[in-house]
């Protein structure tokens, strides 16, 4: 009788060991690459002192490290997606953001990725500081006027065309027993059924980001992503099957990650299927939305909340079919095949770029000090 694949067994029931290559080699490689990328970011800071072109060079350099960080986690492929998106996704496990980062690499737009995470994460020494630069870290769970002002300044986007992939998890966190209680409480208050595979989404932050960005990026589009992991029984939590430690230190990753994409375009149009993004209908011949605040009226906020709940209800049905069939049903666009591609310089940015740059600077410094000592 053949043994069950490890990925189909909950983490707490698996053998308490993994290959030594994962326990020793992976931490060394990953942490060296992480520190290398972070150190490269710090080395790029003096570029900001250069008049006129300094900021542009700094953004390009940090974009290079963003692309490299995404390439630490998977083989590169190519998929056609727009360069300016707000990406909203269900949150199944802590792995989600890594696979969405890889997706941005697939599309060739990883230099523009921004992930809204808890502001407290930026206090993590070294890596947290680097994440501030890497992901525009700083989203707060509160909703006061000071937070809106801070978020607005963080969402100012340059007029020059550049990629933008703003990643938001409207549920706010992964599914767990503790968060399920909150979701049930919300469903009871609203008089609706709770979900089984997801939590009820929070709409305020997503709406604020969309309304703030659209006047600056009129061609912004909204990408709805649904993520499914195989081997997880219906109603169970994917985090209990695919935790970060299990994937990276015990080498039990998901054999396949299933991703369903739905793209919403023409967001600035008054006939857009996404409500509350434009306060007033656009004037005839005017392609620009009103350039007002990202704050919505109570009526607009409620309309968007109900729309997002409808999207999550459709996601729930999609996830039910996924757990039944082991795959997502294809929409009008069908299932798309991605083509593997990998260049030698991708691995420089992913692994060696930061570390080699840091080593070079330190090496030159040591050499110069040695020369000074010799001549003295």
Global confidence as pTM: 0.75
How far apart CA 371 and CA 376 sit, in angstroms, is 9
| C-alpha distance from residue 139 to each of 121, 132, 204, 278 (Å) | 10, 11, 12, 23
pLDDT of 119 above 50: yes
pLDDT of 91 above 70: yes
How far apart CA 187 and CA 200 sit, in angstroms, is 8
What are the tens digits of pLDDT across the range 222-234? Answer: 999 999 999 999 9
Q: Which three-class secondary structure state does DSSP give residue 356?
A: helix
Q: How far is CA 80 from the centre of its chain?
A: 18
Tell which wins on pLDDT, 187 or 376. 187
Local confidence band at 216 (pLDDT 50, 70, 90 cut-offs): confident
How far apart CA 283 and CA 285 sit, in angstroms, is 6
How far apart CA 16 and CA 26 sit, in angstroms, is 18
Would you say 85 and 222 are in contact if contact means Cβ atoms under 8 Å apart? yes
Q: Which residues contact 38 (CB under 8 A, 6 or more apart)?
A: 126, 127, 129, 130, 354
Q: Looking at residue 255, what is its pLDDT?
A: 85
Residue whose token pair is 């800071």: 45
Q: Looking at residue 142, what is its pLDDT?
A: 40
Local confidence band at 21 (pLDDT 50, 70, 90 cut-offs): low
Lowest mean pLDDT segment, chosen from 37-41, 77-81, 94-98, 313-317: 37-41
Local confidence band at 5 (pLDDT 50, 70, 90 cut-offs): confident
Q: In the numeric block, which tokens belong to residue 284?
A: 């005839």
pLDDT of 288 above 60: no
Buried b (16+ CB within 10 A) or exposed e, 207-240: bbbbbbbbbbbeebbbbbbbbbbbbbeeeebbbb
Local confidence band at 37 (pLDDT 50, 70, 90 cut-offs): low
pLDDT of 359 above 80: no
Concatenating the DSSP letter of every residue in 129-198 gives HHHHHHH---B-S--SHHHHHHHHHHT---SS---EEEEE-TT-S---HHHHHHHHHHHHHHT-PPPSSS
What are the tens digits of pLDDT across the range 241-281? Answer: 998 888 877 778 888 889 999 999 999 888 899 999 975 54
pLDDT of 68 above 50: yes
* Domain ranges for the chain: 6-278+291-375
Element (H, E) at 369: helix 353-375
Task: Give the residue-averaged pLDDT of 155-183.
Answer: 84
């Amino acid at each position: 009788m053949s043994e069950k694949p490890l990925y189909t067994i909950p983490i707490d029931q698996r053998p308490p060991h993994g290959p030594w290559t994962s326990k020793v080699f992976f931490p060394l490689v990953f942490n060296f690459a992480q520190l290398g990328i972070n150190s490269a970011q710090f080395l790029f800071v003096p570029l900001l002192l250069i008049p006129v072109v300094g900021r542009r060079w700094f953004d390009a350099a940090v974009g290079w490290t963003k692309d490299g960080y995404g390439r630490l986690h998977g083989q590169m492929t190519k998929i056609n997606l727009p360069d300016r998106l707000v990406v909203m996704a269900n949150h199944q496990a802590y792995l989600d953001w890594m696979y969405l980062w890889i997706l941005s690499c697939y599309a060739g737009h990883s230099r523009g990725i921004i992930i809204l995470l808890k502001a407290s994460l930026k206090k993590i020494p070294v890596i947290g500081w680097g994440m501030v630069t890497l992901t525009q870290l700083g989203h707060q769970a509160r909703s006061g006027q000071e937070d809106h002002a801070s978020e607005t300044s963080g969402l100012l986007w340059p007029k020059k065309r550049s990629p933008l992939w703003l990643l938001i998890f409207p549920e706010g966190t992964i599914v767990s027993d503790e968060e399920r209680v909150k979701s049930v409480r919300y469903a009871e208050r609203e008089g609706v059924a709770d979900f089984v595979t997801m939590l009820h989404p929070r709409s305020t932050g997503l709406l604020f980001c969309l309304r703030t960005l659209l006047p600056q990026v009129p061609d912004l589009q909204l990408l709805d992503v649904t993520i499914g992991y195989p081997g997880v029984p219906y109603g169970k939590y994917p985090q209990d099957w695919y935790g970060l430690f299990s994937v990276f230190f015990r080498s039990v990753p998901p054999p396949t990650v299933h991703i369903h994409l739905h793209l919403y375009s023409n967001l600035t149009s008054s006939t857009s299927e996404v409500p509350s993004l434009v306060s007033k209908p656009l004037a005839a011949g005017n392609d620009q939305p009103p350039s007002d605040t990202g704050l919505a009226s109570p009526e607009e906020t409620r309309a968007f909340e109900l729309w997002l709940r409808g999207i999550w209800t459709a996601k729930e049905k999609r996830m039910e079919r996924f757990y039944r069939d082991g795959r997502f049903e294809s929409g009008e666009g069908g299932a798309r095949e991605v083509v593997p591609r990998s260049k030698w310089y991708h691995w420089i940015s992913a692994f060696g770029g930061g570390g080699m740059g840091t080593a070079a600077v330190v090496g030159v410094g040591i050499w110069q000090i040695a020369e000074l000592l010799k001549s003295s």
